[in-house]
Amino acid sequence: MAASEKPVLDFDGLRPPSPFLTAEHDAWRHQVRAFVDAEIAPNLKDWDLAATFPDALYTKAAAAGVLGMGFAQELGGTGEDIDLYHRIILAEEFYRLGSGVVFSDLATHWVALPPVISLGSPEMRERVARPVLAGLKKMAFAVTEPSGGSDVGGFQTTAEKVGDNYIVNGSKTLISGATRADFMLTAVRTGGPGVGGLSLLLIEADRPGVSTKPIAGMGWYNGNNGSISFDNVEVPITNLIGIENRGFAGLANQFNIERFSGISATLALARTAISEAIAFGRERKTFGQRLIDHQVIRQKIVQMIQRLNSTYAYMDMVVWRFHQGETPVADLAMLKVAATTTLEHCARESLQVLGGSAYTGDNRVERIYREARTFVIGGGAEEILRDLAARQLGF
């Protein structure tokens, strides 16, 4: 863009330029956006009201090459030649609409399925991965517990080995896609206290003793977000993923993937909120001039863009370090906090710009405002992540 040109301050224009984004990334963005615009955008209002979406969307996403992104072609995926920006772009394009009712369920297998593929038996990979990537079966990542929250070392769901089975007892909560899942990648305690006693177990949802129920969210209209109870559930020991009592390492890696999705989702929601505020400010007339011509409104918008740009620069740096083979846990934790606090600020200020118009029930900023807290708590609350960063930094 020439120095004399003014930027287009829409969703795309609010993404700062990055030296790391390529033509391949642009092509992937167009592919995902075409799917979202054709299959999700026309139905989103109805799906928000229903707090769910049809199962047929899974098979449509598979056919569009969206569901299998990053998974091996021999299992039905589109290929493993991707980087973190492919995942980031996927989340951005879904959250561009300002709603999380679809992405959290449709994308859960990106966190739940990789351990099955990398650590499970060949039989398990065929039985689980192939139908999931085809959109015929669904997965949940069953980790969070009512008593533990972010305290992974305090998880209480137990799996006691009896003969050729584990007997599983306990519960999980706030699990995306819990009520519609066919398979659950579940964190269970097979050993002593702390993270050293945790294992990963694949549990089929139709086993006797498994029950699920939806959780009424605080404004997050997703009826498939639910709790899971395990009451003396028999699970064959062949469903163990990886090595017994060594499950935390697999969880930590998946948490990193989950956090990148959450970070990119929050920044996409912030871009959407800012673009809506700018468009409204240019049209709305107050006291004889456009709303955006009032100095206080212009400063609000500049402050939002400033915070957005800073967080994107931080994200690009962290992504680059991961691509170099590093695992900068402290920076990823701090980045997640920076992204979610940026979203909260932008959601609040954008709602303030729109005023009463944001409460008409047909505005993306209203959706974003009521969903913002979900991201601040989910994937690691800011207090937990700041403390994690402190430990990683050595103090």
User: Domain of 126: which CATH number?
Assistant: 1.10.540.10
pLDDT surpassing 70 at residue 221 = no
On whether both 174 and 238 belong to a single domain, the answer is: yes
On whether both 261 and 184 belong to a single domain, the answer is: no
Quote the pLDDT of residue 105: 86
Quote the pLDDT of residue 376: 87
- Is residue 6 in a domain? no
- Give the pairing of strands 226-236 and 139-142: unpaired
Secondary structure percentages of the chain, helix, strand, coil, to 5: 55, 15, 30
- Mean pLDDT, range 61-68, rounded to an integer: 95
On whether both 219 and 299 belong to a single domain, the answer is: no
On whether both 220 and 235 belong to a single domain, the answer is: yes
- Mean pLDDT, range 127-138, rounded to an integer: 96
Q: What is the largest CA-CA distance in the chain?
A: 80
On whether both 176 and 233 belong to a single domain, the answer is: yes
- Mean pLDDT, range 147-176, rounded to an integer: 89
On whether both 186 and 267 belong to a single domain, the answer is: no
On whether both 228 and 279 belong to a single domain, the answer is: no
- Is residue 3 in a domain? no
- Mean pLDDT, range 316-321, rounded to an integer: 97
Q: Which of 196, 221, 245 is the last residue of a domain?
A: 245
Q: What is the pLDDT of residues 222-270, one digit of tens each?
A: 778 889 999 999 999 999 999 999 988 877 778 888 889 899 999 999 9
Helix boundaries (H) for 36-163: 44-50, 56-63, 84-95, 103-106, 109-119, 122-124, 130-133
Per-chain mean pLDDT for the chain = 91
- Is residue 207 in a domain? yes
Quote the pLDDT of residue 316: 97
User: Domain of 224: which CATH number?
Assistant: 2.40.110.10
Helix boundaries (H) for 239-294: 247-283
On whether both 200 and 325 belong to a single domain, the answer is: no
On whether both 236 and 280 belong to a single domain, the answer is: no
pLDDT surpassing 60 at residue 12 = yes
- Give the pairing of strands 183-189 and 139-142: parallel
On whether both 267 and 388 belong to a single domain, the answer is: yes
- Is residue 16 in a domain? no
- Is residue 32 in a domain? yes
pLDDT surpassing 60 at residue 164 = yes
Please check whether residue 68 is in contact with residue 76, taking contact to mean a CB–CB distance below 8 angstroms: yes
- Is residue 230 in a domain? yes
- Mean pLDDT, range 72-76, rounded to an integer: 93
Q: Which of 217, 245, 273 is the last residue of a domain?
A: 245
On whether both 382 and 253 belong to a single domain, the answer is: yes
Q: Which of 220, 245, 270 is the last residue of a domain?
A: 245
Domain count, the chain: 3
On whether both 298 and 374 belong to a single domain, the answer is: yes
User: Domain of 337: which CATH number?
Assistant: 1.20.140.10
Domain that holds residue 210: 139-245
Quote the pLDDT of residue 1: 58
- Is residue 2 in a domain? no
Rounded to whole angstroms, the Cα distance separating 198 from 242 reads: 11
Rounded to whole angstroms, the Cα distance separating 262 from 157 reads: 26
- Is residue 328 in a domain? yes
Q: What is the pLDDT of residues 294-309, one digit of tens each?
A: 999 999 999 999 999 9
Rounded to whole angstroms, the Cα distance separating 129 from 137 reads: 9
Q: What is the pLDDT of residues 359-369, one digit of tens each?
A: 876 678 988 98
pLDDT surpassing 60 at residue 327 = yes
